[in-house]
Amino acid sequence: MKKRIQVNHLGYMTGMPKNAVCRVTAGVFYIVEAATGVSVYAGRLTCPYFDRESGDTVRLADFSDFNTCGTYFIRAGYRRSDVFEISDEPYKNIRKTVLDGIFAGRCGCDLSGETDRCGSYAHRECHTEPVTKHGSFADASGGWHTGGGYAKSVRSTCLAAADMLYALKLFGESFSAEEKELISDECRWGLEWLLKMQDRDGSVYNGISVCGADMASPEEDNGAYFFSDKSCSAALLFTAAAALGANFFAETDAAFSKKLRHAAELSWIAALSTQEYENYCRRLGSASENGDGLNAIESEFMWAMCEMYSLTGESSFEQMIMEKYILSSFYGFGYSTCGGFAALSYLMNSRTRDRSAEAFIRKRLADRADRMAIAVNSSGYRTARSAGGGYTYGSNFAVLSDCMDFITAYLISGEREYLSGAIDQFGYIFGKNPMGISYVTGVGSECCQMPCHCMSASMENDPPVPGMVVGGANIERSDEYSKWHIEKGTPAAKCYADNNYSLSTNEPSVHFSAPLIFISAFFDKVGRSALTGR
CATH number at 68 reads 2.60.40.10
* 159 and 86 belong to one structural domain: no
- Residues whose CB falls within 8 Å of the CB of residue 221, separated by 6 or more in sequence, listed in order: 126, 127, 150, 210, 213, 214, 454
The verdict on 77 and 191 lying in the same domain is no
Check whether residue 389 and residue 421 sit in a common domain.
yes
Strands 56-62 and 49-51: antiparallel
Which of 26, 57, 90 delimits the end of a domain?
A: 90
Residues 6+ positions from 426 with CB-CB distance below 8 Å? 8, 10, 403, 519, 523
The strand pair at 136-138 and 131-133 is best described as antiparallel
Angle between helices 154-170 and 339-347 in degrees, nearest 10: 30
Containing domain of residue 76, as a range?
Answer: 1-90
d(C-alpha 343, C-alpha 480), whole Å: 39
For the chain, the domain total comes to 2
The reported pLDDT for the residue numbered 296 is 72
CATH code, domain with 221: 1.50.10.10
Measured CA to CA, the distance from residue 220 to residue 232 in angstroms comes to: 34
For residues 505 and 397, what is the distance between their CA atoms, to the nearest angstrom? 11
First to last CA, the chain: 45
Residue 445 lies in a domain: no
Which sign does the torsion angle of CA 409, 414, 417, 420 carry?
A: positive
Tens digits of per-residue pLDDT, 4-16?
999 999 999 999 9
Burial class (CB in 10 A: 0-12, 13-18, 19+), 128: middle
Residues 213-261: tens digit of each pLDDT: 567 888 888 888 899 999 999 999 999 999 999 999 999 999 999 999 9
Does residue 47 contact residue 59 with C-beta atoms inside 8 Å? yes
In a domain, 462, yes or no: no
Q: Are strands 12-13 and 84-87 parallel, antiparallel or unpaired?
A: parallel
- Is 256 a member of any domain? no
Judge if 160 and 82 occupy the same domain: no
69 assigned to some structural domain? yes
Question: Do 70 and 109 share a structural domain?
Answer: no
Q: Which pLDDT belongs to residue 212?
A: 65
Q: For residue 533, what is the DSSP state?
A: T
> Same domain, yes or no, for 77 and 136?
no
Given 90, 121, 149, the domain boundary residue is 90
Assess whether 63 and 106 both reside in one domain: no
- Asked whether the CA dihedral 128, 130, 132, 138 is positive or negative, the reply is positive
Clarify whether residues 328 and 379 are in a common domain: yes
pLDDT at 156: 97
Name residue 140's amino acid: A
3 state SS of 12: strand
Does 494 reside within a domain? no
Closest CA to 426 of 53, 18, 71, 62: 18
Kindly state whether residues 24 and 115 are assigned to the same domain: no
pLDDT given at position 2? 67
**8-state DSSP, 112:** T
- Phi, psi angles (nearest 5°) of residue 373: -60, -40
Distance CA 342, CA 334 (A): 12
Q: How far is it, in rounded angstroms, from Cα 84 to Cα 427?
A: 12
Is 447 part of any domain?
no
The low-confidence residues of the chain, meaning pLDDT below 70, are 1-2, 212-214, 283-295, 528-534
Integer Cα distance of 473 and 460 in angstroms: 24
Domain co-membership, 78 together with 128: no
- Tell me, yes or no, whether 352 and 226 share the same domain: yes
Does residue 471 lie in a domain region? no
Are both 129 and 189 inside the same structural domain? yes
